Structure 1
Amino acid sequence: MKKSGILMIIGSALLLGLFIYPLWNIQLEAPQYPDPLGMNIYINGIQGEEEFDIQNIDGINHYIGMKKIPTPAEMWEFNTFPIVIGGMAALGALLGILGFFRIIHPNWFLGWLILMTFLGILGMMDFNNWLTDYGTDLDPKAIMKLTDSEGNPLSYKPPLLGSQKILNFTAHSYPRAGAYLMFVGMLLTLVAWWIGKKANETMAK
């Protein structure tokens, strides 16, 4: 159980990387922008990859009626996610310490992983809902009103994952370092549970 407890502590601690590194990245690539415009999405806000990227993206979006990139004060998620991630990291570390001293069963590690997976799925669903609202809730007084062949307003929703053509832009949406650290951390907690489970079975024989 000592090895599994240490792995649990390390795995949950990797979540703290989300306070340093971006969780996701969206880039807009077009012929008129040799260097793509990009924004890094952190758990507590959105920042441009370059100094004026957010300003330029907002300028482009203004013509087709899209909202400005939200500030942390405008989205409850940017205040809630840091609390959730910090709480899960602290809980995971506590479970790891208790597991190290054989106070709890390794199934607690699995329970933490299930809860973290559930929260991660909720987070991705919320992110996708925001992208949908961001790309479809357009200002009716926009300078440019583009429609499809049936006369319906076009959707400018960036993809949740992958690349997609939007007008003359290609939008790229992919995870970044923070997400990879979180995935590795969750994988370590799964390994911690497996090792702890095997250790308990060996001791029971």
Structure 2
Amino acid sequence: MKKNLSNTSAALMAVSGVLLVVSIFLPWWGMKFYAPQYQEGLDIIVYPTTLDGDIDIVNGLNHYIGMAEFSNASFPELVFMPYIIGGFAVLVLIGAVLRNKKVLTGLIGLYVALGALGIWDMYRWLKTFGTDLDPKAPIELEPFVPPLIGENTIANFVTNSAFSYGAYLLAVVFLLLVIPLWKDRKL
């Protein structure tokens, strides 16, 4: 097979594969809840393997509006996500060894598709949790969809959602995969 990516491009691909693995250990997304009684804010922090933060307190409060409880068991993706990330990292490292533009182009397409699927999945869960409220809850609210990014007000809570370090690292991985196509465009 013709190797048509430079050594530098192969190195960038290898670095991107390593960074993918590193991202498994970093938070990808989070939501912070502010209210008069929680001025310091309550956190939900989402890693690709687990939920962290003030989950128990948030679940206790969500009970009043009839929202289902958050837990690792609520999100089966957390079980297999590290395998998907690790598997893709291995594919990127194999692509770095092969140094083939077509392989790299396929990896970029797969990366974009997986990223789009991940964002859709996050939105789907936010919609499910915000619209599937128990009608017998003590506080009746209109169904809502918390934003993936940005601010939202629910009763006396203001929520801020944002991507976190791991997601920023995923953006760097994308750039490190695209740069070799641009850099070696004339090879």
Length-normalised TM-score, structure 1: 0.84
Aligned-partner Cα distance in 1 for 2:79–2:93:
22
Residue in structure 2 matched with residue 98 of structure 1 by the alignment: 98
Q: Is the 8 A contact 1:6 1:97 kept in 2?
A: no
Aligned-partner Cα distance in 1 for 2:22–2:59:
28
Q: Is the 8 A contact 1:23 1:179 kept in 2?
A: yes
Q: Give the residue type in structure 2 aligned to 1:122.
A: L
Gapped regions of structure 1 (runs ≥ 5): 100-104, 147-153, 201-205
Length-normalised TM-score, structure 2: 0.92
Gapped regions of structure 2 (runs ≥ 5): 1-5
Q: 2:7 matched to 1:2?
A: yes
Q: How does 1:33-182 map to 2 (within 5 A)?
A: 33-48=38-53, 53-71=54-72, 73-99=73-99, 105-146=100-141, 154-182=142-170
> Aligned-pair distance for 1:165?
1.4
How many residues align? The count is 182
Residue in structure 1 matched with residue 3 of structure 2 by the alignment: none
3-state secondary structure, aligned to 1:126: helix
Determine which structure has more spread, i.e. the larger CA radius of gyration.
1
Aligned-partner Cα distance in 1 for 2:149–2:18:
26
Aligned-partner Cα distance in 2 for 1:134–1:18:
26
Deviations 1:63-92 (CA, angstroms, capped at 9, x unpaired):
111011122x33221122211111111100
3-state secondary structure, aligned to 1:138: coil
Deviations 1:140-188 (CA, angstroms, capped at 9, x unpaired):
2211223xxxxxxx12432111111111111111010100011001101
Aligned-partner Cα distance in 2 for 1:7–1:56:
43
| Runs of 4 or more consecutive aligned structure 1 residues displaced over 3 Å after TM superposition | none
Aligned-partner Cα distance in 2 for 1:115–1:182:
14
> Aligned-pair distance for 1:38?
0.6
> Aligned-pair distance for 1:130?
0.3
Identity of counterpart residues, as a percentage?
Answer: 37
Aligned-partner Cα distance in 2 for 1:57–1:23:
19
Aligned-partner Cα distance in 2 for 1:75–1:46:
9
3-state secondary structure, aligned to 2:59: helix
